[in-house]
Amino acid sequence: MTATPGATPTIVLVGHGMVGQRFLEALGERGLTATHRVVVLCEEPRPAYDRVALTSYFSGRTPEELSMTDTEFIEAHGIELYVGDPAETIDRAARKVTARSGQVFEYDTLVLATGSYPFVPPVPGKDAEGCFVYRTIEDLLAIEAYAKAKAQVGAVVGGGLLGLEAAGALKGLGLTSHIVEFAPRLMPVQVDEGGGAALLRTIEDMGLTVHTGVGTQEIVVDEAGAVTGMKLSDGSELATDLVVFSAGVRPRDQLARDCGLTVGERGGITVDEQCRTVSDPHVFAIGECALAADGRVYGLVAPGYEQAETAAAAIAADETDQPTFTGADLSTKLKLLGVDVASFGDAHGTTEDCLDVVYSDSRAGLYKKLVIGRDGTLLGGILVGDADAYGTLRALTGSVPPVSPESLVLPAGAGSGAQLGPSALPDEAIICSCHNVSKGTIRGAVTGHSCTTVPEVKKCTKAGTGCGSCVKVLGQLVTAELEASGVEVDKGLCGCFSQTREELYEIVLALRISTYQDLLDRYGREDARGGDGCEVCKPAVGSVIASLAPSIGVSGYVLDDEQAALQDSNDHFLANLQKNGSYSVVPRIPGGEITPEGLIVIGEIARDFGLYTKITGGQRIDMFGARVEQLPLIWTRLVDAGFESGHAYGKALRTVKSCVGQTWCRYGVQDSVRMAIDLELRYRGLRSPHKLKSAVSGCARECAEAQSKDFGVIATSNGWNLYVGGNGGATPRHADLLAQDLSDAELVRLIDRFLMFYIRTADRLERTSTWLERIPGGLDHVRDVVVEDSLGICEELESLMADHVAHYADEWATTISDPEKLARFVSFVNAPDTPDPVVGFVPERDQIKPDLPLLTIGHRPLEGSAQR
Amino acid sequence: MTLAPETTDLKVQIRLDSPEGAWFTVCDLSRLLPGRGVAALLPDGRQVALFRDRGGRLYGIDNRDPFGGAAVLSRGLTGTHRGRPFVASPLLKQRFDLESGQCLDDESVRVTAYQVRST
Ligand code: SRM
Ligand SMILES: Cc1cc2nc3c(=O)[nH]c(=O)nc-3n(C[C@H](O)[C@H](O)[C@H](O)COP(=O)(O)OP(=O)(O)OC[C@H]3O[C@@H](n4cnc5c(N)ncnc54)[C@H](O)[C@@H]3O)c2cc1C
Ligand code: SF4
Ligand code: FES
């Protein structure tokens, strides 16, 4: 079949990888998708995905999440995308591309973005069963399947950036892992000897075995042809069940060679500064398959993106904006196996007459080197073990730093160590090298486009949406810019306290402060002391006191004494206020499991009090439309039937959803219902900075949606995987895997620690998702603290939780047994039997709904203003 | 509940039509928890949200939230802003000055303020 182009010119893109996708976006941005027919031939069985983040598949990112495009984009731009259909031949004279399926496409412009292939050294046995490369999602799936089925030991050939990633992944799959590197050190391209030594030490401390200075000579196989080991150049043999080759990549230029395009001596399609092939003006090459005008093939994504923009501009023939690609920065930052490694600029000091400034502490696995030119210009550097300064230093490269170079490498605590902030950078400094965004552009986004948060700036400038290594500097810049433009970035909780919630938590815990007034009068802002506080800090402090109640010696019952006055309106009535002044009632239904009797009781109560009933999104039942004076009567019946408060009103544990699990489901591998119930009963009543939600799924099919919860648990055949920081709501976030294959006891202990650490350090109304994104070090830091106990506080966290569990009491049962508290549940203090006449209902679908009083009250009609 | 013994028998009164109207007795002072409100029903059917601050001062404003329409201002959280007492509506959190009834988030909105005393 031949697809003939009509009057519209056709662009054919071969290869839908990261750079290909970026090229399509650039076409769209320049309006070319509207004026051209765009055909994409994609070899892999799925459209473009984030290859840079490939390894995150092993920490739970699904192939769908790695995707870099969606049907909406493809459709909106009218792109013809042929997935799983690679280009096989190019006829340049006829300007035709033939795909494997036999389809033929005529082109006006052809763009090759075929990437590269992993180089496999020609050793005997390299094709044996159990030998893999590490490039595509399919590679990862195959490695995972093989590792799970039949491997205990794995070896990676190549100790470069990708080799280390692959070795980390094998370790994550539970294999004993080896790295074999021909060069005398790890990551030979990026780091020098000193950096390699620091890296080696840290990697070995993690239980990986590193063999440097040796080559692989032969892959040893058994009778069935499966890998059993590797012969090394020093004569030794390494027993291994699985081999991953990661010995570098080579440009995929075969298609180009076959049609006579010029390629470089060592591969790569030769292009000019517009990324146009030197042989044919109708053909472009971009990304890892291209040999750029500066004679280099770039194996990183940022230069590829730049080439994509360049080619799109050249095709648009845009006179006003004609970028050229003449070379790019090879800076890299890697965080893997918990080690930071970064190199930037002239990392190896190849510039004439340059000097090194080195700080090295091999005990701590730290190595920092800066390369400085004669005139003091920062030329490049290497950071191992602590790459916090990477963003700033990379951006400073090419200029004379405002402070002495020594002070830039010394650790923060050591004498004259200077923490150079991004404010020292010039406006031209490139902050995000993935998207080529300068500091000036970011500042402009804050001042000109009134972005006030990092997510807004990301959206507006694209900065930080690539590899993510610049996000930290981005955050610092945004804050600095806001401060500079006079927006006071007061981190205090509210007008009454200059401290953050976390600081107040520490004060309350350390000094055992038991009342809000005491805290306000001693630690409040000067002019707030002695006053009545406000509606922001009262519930926040009330929550801190409630979380710590048993440990600081106060009652855990939130309606006692002064605590009653601190609670949000809902907590004060232990129910959720609705728009007409009525309340909703949500009894706890742990794990979503309920007996027929329980259902009948709820049904009878709802019928007797005329309540509207609905199954909630949290696997329980909500009864709406109760008047305040009905709450105690309703709850007396619920408590009698064994129900407890569901805390639907509180910043506290809400629900632990469950799937039916192993007991009934043919796929289940653990009893998810029992675990959900256990967790819900353990953490019920726990007051926290924001609401807490959880779920337990009985297998990886994930019917309970645990990965959208603050803490989610998924059964594995070996135990439980714990995910944290998930969120639904307006800004959904997939949870991160915190730990794998935990026993029941290990799981509970980790959750105890995680929750208490969150409660201790989060801001007011900060869900675990935002907290995890905000706190310095993110997930890694949290893992260090709660899994490795790096701060030595786990015992305290566990004991705080033990106190909570031991002192839990159902607050509705306590309330209905206290006549003085019950007296508060009236519409009118002077007419306890009179219901509030404003609370009215009208029928809808056989139940009730609020009848909103749409009267004119005071000065303005109600409609319209209610939306505020 | 902590109560200063000398206040136990004091009564809370609202002036019906200020400034000369009669004082209407509502409840014992002990029913007002510092920092928390209660609602009272007046003989003509109007509702008043009554508050007591930590210094013991009493305030009364109309109970109805002029934005949401529900009679719930008595259930809001109270506080002090620039030395003046306020309540934040539990519906959409607008603040109201407890002495004047003025909405602090919208100049054009004000609810009736009542004189309140304890005797
Ligand atoms: C009743 C219910 C809707 C329903 O009929 O299904 C509901 C109702 C409310 N939700 Fe929800 N949410 C309900 C499940 C959910 C879920 C689903 C879930 O839990 O699996 C979500 C998304 C998951 C999540 O939270 O990550 C959800 C995300 C929210 C959010 C957004 C939170 C966020 O982090 O972005 C809010 C707003 C907030 O909390 O600030 C919210 C706030 C509310 C409030 C409190 C709004 C309000 O102030 O009136 C509603 C009060 C309910 C009441 O009066 O009883 N509700 N809400 C569900 C009660 C579940 C339960 O059994 O307790
Ligand atoms: C595990 C891993 C980690 C990495 N980490 C980083 C990092 O941290 N930072 C960084 O900058 N870079 C990193 N890289 C490199 C980065 O992924 C590449 O530089 C980038 O993907 C190059 O994009 P590309 O579009 O040129 O090639 P690719 O993304 O490889 O895309 C090329 C596509 O073309 C397809 N193709 C080939 N031939 C044909 C044909 N004949 N017809 C149709 N389709 C064809 C291929 O199947 C492929 O899908 C990493 C790579 C890997 C594998
Ligand atoms: S998550 Fe697994 S065990 Fe649970 S219901 Fe779904 S398929 Fe069954
Ligand atoms: S540098 Fe990669 S996202 Fe900014």
Q: Which of B26, B38, B92 sits opposite A868 (nearest CB)?
A: B92
- The residue with tokens 């201002």 is B73
A123 alpha-carbon distance from chain centroid: 39
* Nearby residues of A35 by Cβ (< 8 Å), 6 or more positions away: A8, A9
C-alpha A444/C-alpha A465 separation (Å) is: 18
Angle subtended by helix axes A454-461 and A471-484, to nearest 10? 110
Q: What is the pTM of this model?
A: 0.55
In chain A, residues with a C-beta closer than 8 Å to the C-beta of B95 are 535
pLDDT at A396: 82
What letters, b where the CB count within 10 A reaches 16 and e where it falls short, cover B82-106?
eeebbbbbbbeebbbbbeebbbbeb
- Compare A146 and A860 and report the one with higher pLDDT: A146
How, if at all, do strands A437-438 and A366-372 pair? unpaired
The A residues from 548 to 577 touching B (CB cutoff 8 Å) are: 561-562, 564-566, 568-570, 572-573, 577
Label residue A752 by pLDDT band (50, 70, 90).
very high
pLDDT at A418: 47
Does A696 sit in the ligand 3 pocket, CB within 6 Å? no
Does A469 sit in the ligand 4 pocket, CB within 6 Å? yes
- Compare A61 and A170 and report the one with higher pLDDT: A170
pLDDT, one tens digit per residue, over B56-87 is: 999 999 999 998 889 999 999 999 988 899 99
* Nearby residues of A190 by Cβ (< 8 Å), 6 or more positions away: A160, A161, A332, A341, A343, A347, A382
State the smallest CA–CA distance between residue A512 and chain B in angstroms: 20
The A residues from 138 to 167 touching B (CB cutoff 8 Å) are: none
Residue A640 has pLDDT above 80, yes or no: yes
pLDDT at A857: 39
Residue A862 has pLDDT above 50, yes or no: no
C-alpha B39/C-alpha A296 separation (Å) is: 78
* Helices and strands of chain B, counted as H and E runs: 0, 10
Q: Does A437 lie at the interface with B, CB-CB under 8 angstroms?
A: no
Helix (H) or strand (E) holding A130: none
pLDDT at A411: 61
pLDDT at A1: 39
pLDDT at A5: 47
Mean pLDDT taken over chain A: 88
| Test mutation, B14, B23, B54, chain A, max A CBs within 10 A | B54
Q: What percentage of residues in chain A have a pLDDT greater than 90?
A: 59
pLDDT at B3: 45
pLDDT (mean) for A693-705: 96
- Compare A346 and A680 and report the one with higher pLDDT: A680
Highest mean pLDDT, choosing among A25-39, A368-382, A387-401: A25-39
pLDDT at A6: 53
pLDDT, one tens digit per residue, over A259-273 is: 999 999 989 999 999
Contact between B70 and A579 using a beta-carbon 8 Å cutoff: yes
Least confident of A8-12, A168-172, A617-621, A736-740: A168-172
Q: Does A515 lie at the interface with B, CB-CB under 8 angstroms?
A: no
- Compare A192 and B104 and report the one with higher pLDDT: B104
pLDDT at A287: 96
Distances (CA, A) of B13 to A849, B10, B51: 36, 10, 12
- Compare A804 and A357 and report the one with higher pLDDT: A804
Contact between A859 and B110 using a beta-carbon 8 Å cutoff: yes
pLDDT at A654: 97
Residue A319 has pLDDT above 70, yes or no: no
- Compare A484 and A539 and report the one with higher pLDDT: A539
In chain B, residues with a C-beta closer than 8 Å to the C-beta of A852 are 69
Residue A376 has pLDDT above 90, yes or no: no
pLDDT, one tens digit per residue, over A202-217 is: 888 888 899 999 999 9
- For residue A714, give the ligand 3 atom closest to its CA: 1
3-state secondary structure (DSSP) of residue A398 = coil
pLDDT at A387: 78
Residue A533 has pLDDT above 70, yes or no: yes
pLDDT at A653: 97
pLDDT at A861: 34
DSSP B18: T
* Torsion sign across C-alpha atoms A21, A27, A31, A33: negative
- Here the ipTM equals 0.69
Distances (CA, A) of B113 to A117, B14, B41, B47, B117: 78, 10, 15, 11, 13
Nearest CA to ligand 3 atom 2: A699
In chain B, residues with a C-beta closer than 8 Å to the C-beta of A580 are 69-70
DSSP A223: T
- For residue A474, give the ligand 4 atom closest to its CA: 4
In chain B, residues with a C-beta closer than 8 Å to the C-beta of A528 are 80
A358 alpha-carbon distance from chain centroid: 33
Label residue A401 by pLDDT band (50, 70, 90).
confident
pLDDT, one tens digit per residue, over A757-816 is: 999 999 988 999 999 988 888 899 999 999 999 888 999 999 999 999 999 999 999 999
Residue A416 has pLDDT above 50, yes or no: no
How many contacts (CB atoms, under 8 Å) link A and B?
138
Contact between A572 and B110 using a beta-carbon 8 Å cutoff: no
pLDDT at A286: 97
pLDDT, one tens digit per residue, over A448-462 is: 877 877 878 888 888
C-alpha B46/C-alpha B36 separation (Å) is: 20
Assess contact for A698 and A660: CB atoms under 8 A.
Answer: yes
The angle formed by the CA atoms of residues A783, A787 and A789, to the nearest 5 degrees, is 100
pLDDT at A98: 97
Hey, what amino acid is at B99?
E
Residue A89 has pLDDT above 50, yes or no: yes
